[in-house]
Structure 1
Amino acid sequence: MNVIAPTNNDTSTPDVGETKKFGTFLGVFVPCILMLFGVIIFLRLGWVVGLVGISETLIIVTLAALIALVTTLSMSAIATNIEVGKGGMYYMLSRSLGIEAGGALGIPLFFRQSLTIAFCCIGFGESLHDLVPAWSITNIGIITLCILTTLAYTSVSGALKVQIAIFIAILFSLISFFTGGDVPPMDPATFTPPPLNTLGFWSVFAIFFPAMTGMESSVSLSGDLKNPSRSLPIGTISATLTAYLIYVGMCLFLAYKVPMDRLVADPLIMQDIASIPSLIIVGIWGATLSSALGGLLGAPRTLQAISDDGLAPKIFGKPFGALGEPRIATLATFGIALFGTYFGSINILAPLLTMVSLICYGTLNLSAGLETLMANPSWRPRFKVHWGISLSGALLCLIAMLMIDAGSAILCIMLVTFIYFFVRQRQYESSWTDIRDGILLFFSRSAIYRLALSDGPSKSWRPHFLVFTEPSIEQSTAVLNFAQGISRSKGFLTMASFVTPEMGSVKRKELSDSLMARFKKDNIDALVQIKKAEKVNSGMYSMIEYYGIGPLVPNTIVFGGLGKGDKTIDFVNVLRLAYQNKHNIVILNEAEKLATDDSNDLHFWWDDQHKNNSEFMLVLGYMLQLNFKRKNSKICTKAIVQNEFERIEMQKQLSHISLTKRIAINAEVYVSADLSESKEDLIKEFSRNAGMVFVGLKPPPKDTSKMDAYIVYLQGLAKNFEGLPLALVLSSDGTPLDTILE
């Protein structure tokens, strides 16, 4: 089992805290706004307006911005509740939802960030290709990628300073665009009318949506910020709102200035509008290069964080330089981006990026919404968001995924689910707490209160076993296997053991933890209670009387054997208390000989005098048969009568029970006219090859004067059934057998 320690903000030398870090504007707002002002705004925004019209375009932009803004709010809430380490969005997802969910979403997130770099390099190549047709888009993109990777590989500080220059260039290009005039007429000789629109609203939305993604890039750099909890919400929300307002203004401006067919046909239409056309080219280059550079800064840090958590090879997490820059992870990012640049295109990569973004954003919103809804004491964000807003954002993401392409959405969800279970199978054990325990407690609380209000017998009765056994897995395996075979996925199981008062609480905790770890390894669902007791029987009294919470109290007590010698009287007193408290009782004699698979049948000896016992045995047998290890075991219901007439009547009775109770049983009735032959001997004879034998147990007497006779009865059972894998069963009045079997 792998134990994962928390990821610190810094993985460099001890003086990292003294190195220069970045504030809100340079560290958050600029990287975020530059990721938002990317390929789409300059090369596809006019195409979107021309393709679907201004009304639908504004709906697309607003819907995308709404998802981005809600995600930004949720992200800010999480970021102000925890000290965000490197890895940004991956860090928040893994610390909120657990290591499995973090891995399931972090790995696709890293690939999405890497392919975003390819997306931007292709956009840069497309714009330059229009100016120099002799240069291919792919070659331009690859050369650009190599140059940017070299810059990001060398220094994150240098890369961020370059982004300031790019930010200024984009600002001037937007000013040039909004101060431009009318579009000059198109030359009819060179103008080719655009093809008819075959793309629907959601297909166009999928191509546009990457324009509103990228705010998580600033979170990926959170380890390099002076004050992440303050800078992240201010910077990301400001950037998202700024981008939305500019997008809306550009859409209206394009729709007012340019004919629709021209918008579709000319990807560089903004250059024709601008007052200084060359500034648009500079803006396109700045937008594409800055977004690519932002991806080259963010994606490696995501991979580095994933590696630090043990979900990727450790080599990717190796830090370099004063700021712990992930240079090896940068090379891995470069490799993926190179693949995307060589084989992809804008219209191919955009829907893929949209799907991964939506599933990550949706999960982030879900996490923030659940945290707020459950109101765990540990959830104290400085930036508060109503749970309804976050959960609405998660729902919006899911709806958008399904509307864009339901098949691709399902495949994407299946891929994430596969990674989740793959990580879970590796049994990584993180040393941080996450939201999952809170979710379980939240719903458990509601369920327990609801159950406490229910009245009367229930068809939903489930076995709740309290198993008394030694505090050793080796000595209790057989008993636990029996109880687990019935209760797994269908009931509750608690193992209770007792130690001397001299054993300290630390030792008891260590013993309990070791048993729980062994249960987890052996796939046994059980709770462990290690209690101090002067005598075992006094410990049992206490557990029978007081163990449980609300309606969740044990209904069946399981013992690993009959009391022997001078302890028999104590054992009988425990049985009396359990029966008086309306607990069912199961005593396993020769438990180590019980079959654990379906190689042998289950034998149930019917007793009309104690019909409740017989019916309860059938319930246990049926639930045991539901276990996959017992699915081929047959339920053989047997009975002994004194003559042929009784045999026929009993055969009819058992057949009727099988039919009306809907339990498949093989009924076998034996005639024994020889009263000298004991019933116990007959049971041993006819069940010698059984995997497990169920026999009814007489209830302990209320009258203490009859205790000696009952002790003799128990001792006789132990002697007569020696060598037989036996379960003695006593049903209490508290079990609603009529309701269960109706």
Structure 2
Amino acid sequence: MPDWKLPFDRHSESATVLPGETQGGLGTFGGVYTPSILTILGVIMYLRFGWVVGNVGLLGTLLIVILANSITFFTALSVCAIATDKVVRAGGAYYMISRSLGAETGGAVGIPLYFAQALSVALYTIGFAESLKAAFPHINQLYVALVVTSLVGILAFMSASIAIKAQYFIMAAIVLSLVSFYFGHPVEETHIELWVNNKAPFWTVFSVFFPAVTGIMAGVNMSGDLRDPIRSLPSGTLWAVGTGFAIYMTMPIFMAMRANSNTLIAEPLIMQQMAVWGPLILLGVWGATLSSAIGSILGAPRILQALARDGILPKWMSFLGQGSGPQDEPKMGTLATLVVAIAAVCVGDLNLIAPVLTMFFLTTYLVLNMSAAIEGFLQSPSFRPSFKVHWAFSLSGAIGCLIVMFLIDAVATVVAAIVVIGIYFWVRQRELIVTWGDVRRGLWMALLRTAILQTDHTDDTKNWRPQLLVLSGAPTKRWTLIQLAEALTHNRGLITVSSVLPVGSRDMAKQAILEKRIRNYLQRRGVQALVRLVTAPDPFDGAERLVETYGLGSIVPDTVLLGDSQQSSHRDRYCQMIANLHRAQRNVIILRENPKLDQNPFLESRHRPCYIDIWWSGGMQGNGSLMLILAYLLRSNPNWQDAEICLKLVVTDETGVQAAQANLDNLAKHLRIGALSEVILADGRTFATILKKSSMGADLIFLGMASPGEVFMQSYEKLQNWTENLPTSIFVLAAPGFDFEGVLGEN
């Protein structure tokens, strides 16, 4: 993607606009308050507010105004908190969300928000055309809307500064129209209807009205053009919300006093009939619709520009991130927005477009509130807003948005959620590399802290799973160990890939770099694992030190996985290490491969079906139970789900074959792991002979190790001799004292 962020570009990530600077840009009144209040006092107020009062009555209207403004107010508080913590650059709400919850969430909300702003252009130009047709019935409403949309787009394309300055004249016209309305007169004899039960349901009316209070986005979207966004966004936004609330709470009273419900519903321009001088209302309608359309067509391209510059959009759309002139105006984005708006104008129905906008804006408000709530709840040192808002207020705003969305239209809410989630995963699978942090790590850290403190050191057979410490050395050389660990855990337990480095081979900085390289290598190969490197005089001391010190609270590796020792000169120290790990109450799993067979049972392309042999001895205590658990964990992995587990037991007395077979069958049935059983009569043969003949065709062979004692090295060497020239074997030594029978449900 082209790098649009120049070193001295005031829109770049590195540029900082501090309070008090005299650098060029818009102030609070012109950049935030004016576009916000002009969008709030827009087409819905002039053309649909009477319809709202007529459908739900005075009290119903006031309730709608309070509910809608409460959501907007809580969202405004969240915006203030985020805006006073960091400099908000181009992109407004998208910028805030992406820098708080990550690029994926920002993109998931930013793309629908862009379309909401682009559709708003159509909403306002259709409103303009509708009011013009009411005054001049013979004109074609669609053609007027198309022409006005095109003119608004051309104005924004040519010069954003001219469009912004025009808003001051429009504000004067709106003020005059409101004065004319408030000092107006009744249009008929009527009595105040507190509650009305007409055709439109309450929440349908709410959905039509709600876009009237979403004007705060107009100011937020201009964040990249503000001289001092940290100061201007909070004050300008809150003043706009307060002004709009005061007007929307008083207007219904005058409307209910001056006309009955049927008239209010039937006459879109009822305000004109009530005003002292009707043409001023038309002037206000035209001014409000045009100013709102201008505000939307100025805001939407800036969101699109920010999305393109952050790489959220596909690479072929990166041209939309281009800026023109000293003000970095998004002219390519303006043209794209104009196309979207013209397409929406062809739909031509205010009542159809308004609810769609409501869902888009409510989704944005919900995520904005969640961003502020999470930031406030985590209390990260990096989140230090000068405008402090308790996280409960932001959470209340988010919950309010969600409830209202379902009350308006549950199906549309689910569809909106599917769209947002779909965009989220679409952005995520592209694995964008961003230069900013977000709260997700802080959220996981808070959950991790709670989980660790809630997890005690008491043995829990019900929730046991292997937490593996893999002594792999260089992962590329002993990759089969990591494959076995991945097959055993399969997203259930933690894997830590570890290696012991010689003392003095690397300093701490180089060691951290090597850990990062190993993590990246594991991620590229699809393995989720932690990485830990230590330095020690020899690898055995390092392994013992890892087991002794590695972990956090009760979350420590309970199982050590390592490779077989091939060098006889190191075998004594190797066996001593195993004995020390056993005394430290760790399970030990040793993988012994046969390089002569060139066999890797953990490859996805291996032959099927596959066979796992468990050589049974010593009953359910210790090694027997752990081998069964490990075999079961392997088969619950999708790559091993067709594996056939076979319990094999050698007996020396022919009279005991039937009893042993019955006991083994009963055990396999009781354990519910789908294992077969086979009792083999020794008939004078050694165990080594029986093992070689019976397991030569297996893919994996499980064998238990004797508890470490004085002759442990000799017993280990015996295992090595037994499995020479056999397929991959796994030696298992269970930790002393742990109830593996309880894990299998034998208690």
Decide: shared fold, TM above 0.5.
Answer: yes
- Find the counterpart in structure 1 of residue 517 from structure 2: 514
Give me the whole-angstrom Cα distance separating, in 2, the residues matched to 1:366 and 1:159: 33
Q: 1:154 to 1:681 in 2, by over 3 A?
A: farther
Q: Are the aligned partners of 1:9 and 1:86 in contact in 2 as well (CA < 8 Å)?
A: no
Matches within 5 A, 1:71-86: 71-86=75-90
- Find the counterpart in structure 1 of residue 732 from structure 2: 729
Matches within 5 A, 1:254-265: 254-265=255-266
Q: Secondary structure at the match of 1:323?
A: coil
The structural deviation recorded for 1:563 is 5.0
Name which of 689, 698, 704 aligns with 1:681.
689
Q: Are the aligned partners of 2:609 and 2:644 in contact in 1 as well (CA < 8 Å)?
A: no
The structural deviation recorded for 1:689 is 2.4
Q: 1:2 to 1:731 in 2, by over 3 A?
A: farther
- Find the counterpart in structure 2 of residue 189 from structure 1: none
- Find the counterpart in structure 1 of residue 600 from structure 2: 593
* AA matched with 2:638: F
* AA matched with 2:290: L
- Find the counterpart in structure 2 of residue 179 from structure 1: 183
Name which of 38, 41, 55 aligns with 2:42.
38
- Find the counterpart in structure 1 of residue 464 from structure 2: 461
Give me the whole-angstrom Cα distance separating, in 1, the residues matched to 2:16 and 2:104: 33
- Find the counterpart in structure 1 of residue 562 from structure 2: 559
Moved more, 6-15 or 573-582: 6-15
Q: Secondary structure at the match of 2:478?
A: helix
Q: Are the aligned partners of 1:2 and 1:428 in contact in 2 as well (CA < 8 Å)?
A: no
- Find the counterpart in structure 1 of residue 146 from structure 2: 142
Asked if 1:584 corresponds to 2:587, the answer is: yes
Matches within 5 A, 1:158-307: 158-183=162-187, 197-307=198-308
Asked if 1:619 corresponds to 2:616, the answer is: no
Q: Are the aligned partners of 1:12 and 1:321 in contact in 2 as well (CA < 8 Å)?
A: no
Asked if 1:549 corresponds to 2:552, the answer is: yes
Count residues with an aligned counterpart. Answer: 724
- Find the counterpart in structure 2 of residue 192 from structure 1: none
What root-mean-square deviation, in Å, do the aligned CA atoms of Structure 1 and Structure 2 show?
A: 2.4
The structural deviation recorded for 1:266 is 0.5
Q: Are the aligned partners of 1:601 and 1:634 in contact in 2 as well (CA < 8 Å)?
A: yes
Name which of 537, 540, 561 aligns with 1:537.
540
Q: Are the aligned partners of 1:65 and 1:212 in contact in 2 as well (CA < 8 Å)?
A: yes
Give me the whole-angstrom Cα distance separating, in 2, the residues matched to 1:170 and 1:268: 15
Q: Are the aligned partners of 2:189 and 2:258 in contact in 1 as well (CA < 8 Å)?
A: no
Q: Are the aligned partners of 1:12 and 1:319 in contact in 2 as well (CA < 8 Å)?
A: no
Name which of 497, 507, 520 aligns with 1:495.
497
Name which of 634, 649, 654 aligns with 2:659.
649
Deviations 1:371-422 (A, max 9, x none): 1111111111111111111111111111111111111111110111111111
Moved more, 203-212 or 550-559: 203-212
- Find the counterpart in structure 1 of residue 104 from structure 2: 100
Give me the whole-angstrom Cα distance separating, in 1, the residues matched to 2:388 and 2:71: 18
- Find the counterpart in structure 2 of residue 151 from structure 1: 155
* AA matched with 1:565: S
Q: Secondary structure at the match of 1:343?
A: coil
Deviations 1:539-575 (A, max 9, x none): 1111011110111011000002235221112211211
Q: Are the aligned partners of 1:562 and 1:587 in contact in 2 as well (CA < 8 Å)?
A: no
Q: Are the aligned partners of 1:601 and 1:690 in contact in 2 as well (CA < 8 Å)?
A: yes
Give me the whole-angstrom Cα distance separating, in 2, the residues matched to 1:722 and 1:242: 85
Comparing both structures, which one devotes a greater share of its residues to helix? Answer: 1
Deviations 1:266-312 (A, max 9, x none): 01000000111111111111111111111111110101111011112
Give me the whole-angstrom Cα distance separating, in 2, the residues matched to 1:12 and 1:388: 30
Q: Are the aligned partners of 1:72 and 1:237 in contact in 2 as well (CA < 8 Å)?
A: yes
- Find the counterpart in structure 1 of residue 193 from structure 2: none
- Find the counterpart in structure 1 of residue 674 from structure 2: 664
- Find the counterpart in structure 1 of residue 722 from structure 2: 720
Name which of 699, 703, 727 aligns with 1:691.
699
- Find the counterpart in structure 2 of residue 445 from structure 1: 449
Q: Secondary structure at the match of 1:711?
A: helix
Q: Secondary structure at the match of 2:288?
A: helix
Name which of 636, 639, 642 aligns with 1:632.
642
Name which of 88, 92, 97 aligns with 1:88.
92
Q: 1:455 to 1:508 in 2, by over 3 A?
A: closer
Which blocks of at least 5 consecutive residues in structure 2 are unaligned? 191-195
Give me the whole-angstrom Cα distance separating, in 1, the residues matched to 2:661 and 2:16: 86
Moved more, 171-180 or 680-689: 680-689
The structural deviation recorded for 1:2 is 12
Q: 1:576 to 1:249 in 2, by over 3 A?
A: same
Q: 1:5 to 1:552 in 2, by over 3 A?
A: farther
Q: 1:6 to 1:14 in 2, by over 3 A?
A: closer
The structural deviation recorded for 1:253 is 1.1
The structural deviation recorded for 1:12 is 12
Give me the whole-angstrom Cα distance separating, in 2, the residues matched to 1:38 and 1:710: 86
The structural deviation recorded for 1:345 is 1.4
Deviations 1:617-669 (A, max 9, x none): 11112122222222222222222222444332232223322333222212222
Q: Are the aligned partners of 2:625 and 2:741 in contact in 1 as well (CA < 8 Å)?
A: no
* AA matched with 1:155: S
The structural deviation recorded for 1:482 is 0.7
Deviations 1:195-239 (A, max 9, x none): 993321111111111111131221221111111111101110110
The structural deviation recorded for 1:14 is 10
Give me the whole-angstrom Cα distance separating, in 2, the residues matched to 1:637 and 1:429: 50
Give me the whole-angstrom Cα distance separating, in 2, the residues matched to 1:681 and 1:436: 57
Give me the whole-angstrom Cα distance separating, in 2, the residues matched to 1:71 and 1:635: 58
Give me the whole-angstrom Cα distance separating, in 2, the residues matched to 1:196 and 1:542: 76
Q: Are the aligned partners of 1:61 and 1:247 in contact in 2 as well (CA < 8 Å)?
A: yes
Give me the whole-angstrom Cα distance separating, in 1, the residues matched to 2:619 and 2:41: 83
